Each structure stands twice: as C-alpha cells, then as structure tokens.
C-alpha cells in the first residue's frame, strides 16, 4: 500500500506459513467436496474446508468473522445440507452417477477460470503487503461498526432472513396448496 520497504516473498513469515498450510487444507478438502463419490463424505469434507477457512480468518485477524463462520457454516449450514441429503433418500454408500456427463467441459471451464483469476490477481496484487495487527476484527470493534454505520442493512437483512425462512416453511409444508 505504501512505499515502505516490504519483506520479500522468501522467506515467508510465520503467519504466512500458517495461512498457506490452512489454504492448502481448504483447497484440498474443497477438491474432495466436488470429486468424492459419497454424498455424506462431501458434506463432511465441507466441514473441513470451512474450518480451515475459519483458521485463515483467524490468521488474518478477523476473529469475529472466524467464529461466525464456525457457528453458522459448520454448525448450521452443513447440518442443513446433511438433512437435505437424508431427506432426499440419497444412497449412503458409494454412488457412481454423481457427476454429469459434461464433467470434462466443467473441468476445462474451472481450469480456465482459475487461470484467468489467478493471473489477474497475481499481476494486480503481487506488491500488496500489510503487516497484521491484532484487534482489528474483535467482536467489540465489529459490533460497534455494525450497529453504528451498518445498522440499516443489518435490519433489512433480518427482514430478508425472516422472509426466506417463512418461504422455506411454506415451500416444504405439504398441506398448503395453491389457491384454487
């Protein structure tokens, strides 16, 4: 950001090593999510991926976001997905037809996306450096920012969440039909 002397890419500092290890864990488990042949295992690998990302948030000093990630993603969303797997009577064991026939085209598109995005961000941000200072993402600072500056979107989002959950209930109840 500023033109102060930046440390080079080698040797990486301690937080960078930790972040890179967590990133490798997250990327590996994400690859297993999209390639595994067992539905339940995909949901469990998703837990690993989200946990590693929460660790990455902790390294990036965003500790409140990390705990929200653990609570909502790992605690709520993955459980919801597991409920969905169970309720659609998915085969618990290995199933051969989880990938569609166009997976090679999908792999090409994914690789092309990765190439474009990685080359763009590397050429754009290879010089960006910031020292990490703890305390920028605590619940106190984030809460005061949330309830001072961002309180209107926060309230709008609570209404959105309420509407989405009411909609989910209406969609999943069978005794509410269309109006004749």
In the DSSP assignment, the letter for residue 70 is: I
Task: Name, in order, each residue with C-beta under 8 angstroms of 176's C-beta and a sequence gap of 6 or more.
Answer: 170
User: Which of the residues 42 through 101 are near another protein (CB under 8 A)?
Assistant: 42-43, 46, 49-50, 53, 56-57, 59-62, 64-65, 68-69, 72-73, 76-77, 80-81, 83-85, 87-90, 97-101
Closest approach, Cβ 3 to another protein, in A, equals 15
User: Which of the residues 131 through 150 are near another protein (CB under 8 A)?
Assistant: 131-132, 136-137, 141-142, 145-146, 149-150
How far apart are alpha carbons 25 and 111 in whole angstroms? Answer: 19
Task: Name, in order, each residue with C-beta under 8 angstroms of 42's C-beta and a sequence gap of 6 or more.
Answer: 32, 33, 34, 36
Binding mask 106-125 for another protein (x = CB under 8 A): xx-xxx-xx--xx--xx--x
Closest approach, Cβ 179 to another protein, in A, equals 17
Closest approach, Cβ 153 to another protein, in A, equals 7
157 binds another protein (CB under 8 A): yes
User: Which of the residues 3 through 22 are near another protein (CB under 8 A)?
Assistant: 9, 13, 15-16, 19-20
Closest approach, Cβ 89 to another protein, in A, equals 8
Structure tokens at 175: 């005794």
Residue 61 backbone zone (phi > 0: left; psi -120 to 50: alpha; other: beta) = left
How far apart are alpha carbons 104 and 80 in whole angstroms? Answer: 30
């Amino acid at each position: 950001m500023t033109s102060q002397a930046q440390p080079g890419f080698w040797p990486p500092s301690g937080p960078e090593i930790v972040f890179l290890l967590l990133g490798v864990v997250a990327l590996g488990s994400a690859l297993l999510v999209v390639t595994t042949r067992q539905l339940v295992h995909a949901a469990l690998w998703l837990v690993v991926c989200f946990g590693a990302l929460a660790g990455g948030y902790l390294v990036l000093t965003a500790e409140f976001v990390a705990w929200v990630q653990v609570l909502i993603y790992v605690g709520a969303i993955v459980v919801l997905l597991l409920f969905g797997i169970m309720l659609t009577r998915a085969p618990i064991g290995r199933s051969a037809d989880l990938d569609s026939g166009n997976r090679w085209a999908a792999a090409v598109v994914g690789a092309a996306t990765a190439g474009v995005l990685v080359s763009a961000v590397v050429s754009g941000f290879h010089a960006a450096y910031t020292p990490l200072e703890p305390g920028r993402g605590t619940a106190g600072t984030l809460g005061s920012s949330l309830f001072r500056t961002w309180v209107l979107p926060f309230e709008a989002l609570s209404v959105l969440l309420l509407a989405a959950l009411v909609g989910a209930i209406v969609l999943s109840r069978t005794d509410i039909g269309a109006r004749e």
